[in-house]
Amino acid sequence: MCGAWPASALCAGCAAGFALPLHRCRLCALPLTGAAEVCGACLREPPPLDACFAAVSYAYPWSTLVARFKFSGEPGWAETFAARMALVPGAAQELQRADLVLPLPLAPRRLAERGFNQALLLARGLAPARTEPLLLLRLRDTGSQATLDRKARHLNMRHAFGVDPLRAAELAGRAVLLVDDVMTSGASLHSAALALRQAGALRVSALVLARTDQPH
C-alpha cells in the first residue's frame, strides 16, 4: 500500500491505517453501530452460520489487493491475508474450536482458469493440519454473481455445494470453519453451511478476509 513491497507485504503503518477491526454482527459480519451483537436482519432471519468473522471491509485498498491475489497470479498474498484473518477478534478461538477447516471450492472451469483456489491457500495458511480441500464439493458452476441482487444470488447458489458421500460421516457432530476470500451477500457461505448441516455438522462458522459493508 505504501510502497514497502517487497520488503513487507503489509507494514505496521498500513495495517494501522487500513485494517483496524470493526464491530461486526457475529452472524453475518456486517459492521454495527452501538453495542448490539447481532444485526436486525439476522434477528429476523437467522443465517445457517453459528458465527461469521471478517478481517477487513471489501474496499480500498483491499479490493485491489484481492484482485491481484486472485486474477494476477499472485498467490503469495495468501500468507499475509491469512495472518490478518487470524487477528480478527474471536477468530483464534473459532479456529481452535474447529475440527475441520473447509475452503469454499471453486467450479472446475474457474479453477482451471485461475490455477489455484484462493480459499484453499487461505485455509492452509490458517490451519494446515485441519484443512480438508476435498470434503466439501462444488456441484455446479453458478457463473458470475456480480450483476445479481441479494435474492437472486441466494437462489443461484441453492444446492451449489455438497459433501463427498463417501466421507459424510466425518462431519457428524463436528465443528466446521468455512474459509473464503470475499463475502458479499453470504449466498455461497450459506449454501455451503446448509450442505454441511444436512451431513451432520454440529457447528458451522465462517471466516473471510473481506466483507462488503452493505448487504447485497
Summarised one tens digit per residue, pLDDT across range 66-76 is 999 999 989 99
| Per-residue pLDDT, 81 | 96
pTM, 2 dp:
0.91
Share of the chain above pLDDT 70, in %: 89
| Per-residue pLDDT, 5 | 64
| Per-residue pLDDT, 24 | 97
Q: Assess whether pLDDT exceeds 90 at residue 198.
A: yes
Cα 38 from chain centroid (whole Å)? 19
Summarised one tens digit per residue, pLDDT across range 18-43 is 888 899 999 999 999 988 999 999 99
How far CA 102 is from CA of 3, 84, 143, 211, in Å, comes to: 33, 18, 21, 18
Q: Is residue 25 within 8 Å of residue 42, measured between CB atoms? A: yes
Give the three-class secondary structure for 164.
coil
Confidence of residue 47 (pLDDT cuts 50, 70, 90): very high
Better-predicted residue by pLDDT, 128 or 14: 128
| Per-residue pLDDT, 155 | 64
Summarised one tens digit per residue, pLDDT across range 131-175 is 999 999 998 776 555 555 566 665 656 778 999 999 999 999 999
For the chain, give the mean pLDDT.
90
Q: Is residue 183 within 8 Å of residue 211, measured between CB atoms? A: yes
Summarised one tens digit per residue, pLDDT across range 82-111 is 999 999 999 999 999 999 999 999 988 989
Q: Which residues contact 10 (CB under 8 A, 6 or more apart)?
A: 1, 19, 80, 84
Adjacent-strand bridge partners of 161: 138
List of domains in the chain: 12-35+46-211 (3.40.50)
Q: Assess whether pLDDT exceeds 80 at residue 2.
A: no
| Per-residue pLDDT, 54 | 98
